[in-house]
Structure 1
Amino acid sequence: MHTVPDIRRSSGASMQPKRRLGNWMPQQEEAAVAFRRRLAQAARERGRSEPMTGVVRELQALVEGDSVLRMNLSRAIDEALAAGFETAYANFDELICIVDYLMGYAPPFNATVPVATPLNLVLDWPMCMPSGYAVFRDPAFNAQLRKLLTHWCGFLSGPHSRTHLTTAEPDGWFSERAQHKMQLSDYLCDRTQQHWGFASWNDFFTRRLRDDARPVHEPSNPAVIVNACEASPYDVSEDCQLHDRFWIKAQPYSLREILAGTDRNVVERFVGGSVYQGYLSAFNYHRWHAPVAGTIREAYNVDGTYYSELEREGTDARGLNDSQGYTTATAARAIIVIEADEPALGNIACAFVGMAEVSSCRIAVTPGQHVVKGSELGFFQYGGSTYCLIFEPEVIRSFEPGPPFRDDSPPLKVNSLLAHARP
């Protein structure tokens, strides 16, 4: 058996444990190992009697038909095992069996050891090995991952995904502990119906708030900007550049890369401006709302990576978390640009970034549409997520709260105060 190294993060003279953010995966590697073992066992049992899913066969064919891709992925697995990490699979064939099993997997509720992104946990160590970085940036590999995740999203959008949409302890998402943890009384549902009226897992994941659950902070005050997502603060950056080295450890925001489909003249208006970034928890509300009143000028999706990490963050248990600045320029995302009704605010660019199992960033507005502060803009379907708001120079007076941010910062409520604009 491999021993698990103590992966720690340097902080001045002290060493602090690295943590997986957002409750998407277990904090302790021992719990992650136990989950991988259970998945691998269930996958082997299924594989004896069930044919492989078509989209998984396509991924298998892609890797086996590309000698460089197969070499790098095989080496990444070997490197993870040699480094002492327990993956629960020893080669690509065993990995693809687990991936196939996950195509029909409905996540259970677990307040203490959550595994809301199981594929991320399965890939956790190979993806941050030296050979793994090239694999998870490969365009053809990511295109097939997109098809794979779209297939799983389809399962999670169907009635067979409701296995754990029950009040049963301890795995039910409507169990007493889950109701308390997730504040389910804030959401619309019909408790008299089976599965509380939710048609699928994704229907539950993208559940809607009651009208009075998240009031808009000072809705008529244009100088108040509100949170677009229910997310914990991650970073605030000033003086952002048109092109920057988003691949270095500092991960500055590179506007041309983030706003890949926006006209350069519009992007240049943000040069020298501010960026706020927050990350979402597995247990939180996953719809996006307008931070200001205004007119939608851009609304589009950008294809990108799903599990690519930044080498400079090192081999650790939270690689995607520590690479969140980098993912704004590389990951699959939705971009919405709002021209504020208040001229002093200019344009606000919103980047809703899919991480790990997020295969769907669904936009619910169209260019030319007017939105009031707090209007719904779209939503994430299942998976880990981060987002950022980009402001033109000299717009923001102060963010609330401001940095430094703690890893265990609670999420800021959607529609609550995020920033004050300059007079």
Structure 2
Amino acid sequence: MKDKIFILLQHLLPQHLLSRLVGKLADCRTNWVKSTFISWFAKRYNVNMSEAVQESLNAYPDFNSFFTREIKLERRPLADTDIISPADGAISQLGPIDHGRVFQAKGRGYALTTLLGGYNDLAEQFIDGQFATVYLSPKDYHRVHMPVTGTLRDTIYVPGDLYSVNQTTAEGVENLFARNERLVAIFDTEYGPMAMILVGAMIVAGIETVWAGQVAPQQRKIWRTEHTPEPQAPVVLEKGAEMGRFKLGSTVILLFGKDVIEWQENLQAGSPVNMGHAFGNRV
């Protein structure tokens, strides 16, 4: 019953208004406001500040700076595998993309084409490939890093809903990841095309990339940018380099093509991961 009420509230709440209001609060630099918010959050979610480059809570000018805090990268050594975890969090699901559908939870799935903003030319590159969904909890490090070295080819911003992302909504909200606001980045890698999808959620105040700054929220329409070497240098990000970050929230989905990679055998739904952990290898 509790889960049903929670799902009902997700449908009824003014998702975008609530998220933008929290975003304003997260940007607030009034000392007592930001200090109260940061201190409460760090205690409530047992945030490990010993990993942060700046360990003092009082040093952050606003909540967003604290939430997207830089960590000591020596605490996240890169595994000697072809593919590393892009983020701290836990595996929501991973496995094959079955006939153009991606598994969500408890028999629910969603269309690959819908996830990628409706672009069939992109979806075709990942048919019968592999996917992995990593959920970032509130206490986690919220910067996203490259699982492999890649050259940016496409970015697609897809407006959408802002349902909370957790096990309850994954099991109870149809097409959750293909209906929430998201940013899709397509990279060319030595393992073929790779998609990194950064999915927004309730009270996610923004999604940023290292090459364009804040890219979500945007106006309520899909936009696509194709990146070519001319007239500017290509965006090339090395394995382990920062790719983007969340201002509150949410989820990263990786896609690879058919018969290219396989995930680590010990990974399954619920497995905890840190950025840099062994994630997969070339087939």
TM range (shorter): 0.7 to 0.9
Is 2:8 the partner of 1:126?
yes
Query: Deviation string for 1:4-56 (max 9, x for gaps)?
Result: x5x6xxxxxxxxxx8xxxxxxxxxxxxxxxxxxxxxxxxxxxxxxxxxxxxxx
How far, CA to CA, are the matches of 1:301 and 1:284 in structure 2?
24
Equivalent residue, structure 2, for 1:339: 188
1:233 to 68, 81, 91: 91
Q: How does 1:139-218 map to 2 (within 5 A)?
A: 145-160=15-30, 161-164=33-36, 171=40, 173=42, 181-189=46-54, 191=56, 195-218=57-80
Structure number with greater CO (CA < 8 Å, separation at least 6) is 2
Distance 1:328 1:266, change over 3 A: same
Equivalent residue, structure 2, for 1:348: 194
2:88 is paired with a residue whose SS is coil
Equivalent residue, structure 2, for 1:285: 141
Equivalent residue, structure 1, for 2:129: 273
Query: Deviation string for 1:233-285 (max 9, x for gaps)?
Result: 1111314334x498995223421111116x43232010011111121111110
TM-score normalised by L of structure 1: 0.55
Residue 291 of structure 1 contacts residue 373 of structure 1 at CA under 8 Å; is this kept in 2? yes
Is 2:248 the partner of 1:382?
yes
Residue 108 of structure 2 contacts residue 171 of structure 2 at CA under 8 Å; is this kept in 1? no
Equivalent residue, structure 1, for 2:112: 255
Residue 256 of structure 1 contacts residue 267 of structure 1 at CA under 8 Å; is this kept in 2? yes
Q: In the TM superposition, what is the alpha-carbon distance from 1:364 to its structure 2 partner? A: 2.1
- Residue 241 of structure 2 aligns with an amino acid whose one-letter code is S
**Mind listing any 5+ residue stretches in structure 1 that lack a counterpart?**
8-17, 19-79, 86-123, 310-316
- Select the structure of larger CA radius of gyration: 1
Distance 1:127 1:324, change over 3 A: closer
Distance 1:198 1:348, change over 3 A: same
2:237 to 344, 347, 371: 371
Is 2:272 the partner of 1:416?
no
Residue 227 of structure 1 contacts residue 417 of structure 1 at CA under 8 Å; is this kept in 2? yes
Query: Deviation string for 1:126-170 (max 9, x for gaps)?
Result: 336xxx4xx57xxxx6xxx42442232022112134133677xxx
Residue 130 of structure 2 contacts residue 262 of structure 2 at CA under 8 Å; is this kept in 1? no
Equivalent residue, structure 2, for 1:393: 258
How far, CA to CA, are the matches of 1:285 and 1:172 in structure 2?
14
1:153 is paired with a residue whose SS is helix
Distance 1:189 1:151, change over 3 A: same
- Residue 108 of structure 2 aligns with an amino acid whose one-letter code is Q
CA RMSD, 1 decimal: 3.1
How far, CA to CA, are the matches of 1:235 and 1:354 in structure 2?
17
How far, CA to CA, are the matches of 1:235 and 1:172 in structure 2?
27
Distance 1:355 1:284, change over 3 A: same
- Residue 349 of structure 1 aligns with an amino acid whose one-letter code is A
How far, CA to CA, are the matches of 1:229 and 1:245 in structure 2?
20
1:328 to 161, 165, 177: 177
Distance 1:318 1:190, change over 3 A: closer
Distance 1:213 1:323, change over 3 A: farther
Residue 19 of structure 2 contacts residue 202 of structure 2 at CA under 8 Å; is this kept in 1? no
Higher strand share: 2
Identity of aligned residues (%): 23
Residue 22 of structure 2 contacts residue 203 of structure 2 at CA under 8 Å; is this kept in 1? no
Residue 135 of structure 2 contacts residue 251 of structure 2 at CA under 8 Å; is this kept in 1? yes
The alignment of Structure 1 onto Structure 2 pairs a total of residues equal to 261
Q: In the TM superposition, what is the alpha-carbon distance from 1:297 to its structure 2 partner? A: 1.1
Equivalent residue, structure 2, for 1:101: none
- Residue 151 of structure 1 aligns with an amino acid whose one-letter code is L
Higher helix share: 1
How far, CA to CA, are the matches of 2:244 and 2:130 in structure 1?
23
2:168 to 314, 319, 328: 319
Residue 240 of structure 1 contacts residue 270 of structure 1 at CA under 8 Å; is this kept in 2? no
Residue 289 of structure 1 contacts residue 376 of structure 1 at CA under 8 Å; is this kept in 2? yes
**Mind listing any 5+ residue stretches in structure 2 that lack a counterpart?**
213-226, 228-233
TM-score normalised by L of structure 2: 0.80
Distance 1:241 1:325, change over 3 A: farther
How far, CA to CA, are the matches of 2:149 and 2:173 in structure 1?
27
Q: In the TM superposition, what is the alpha-carbon distance from 1:354 to its structure 2 partner? A: 1.4
- Residue 34 of structure 2 aligns with an amino acid whose one-letter code is R
Residue 299 of structure 1 contacts residue 336 of structure 1 at CA under 8 Å; is this kept in 2? yes
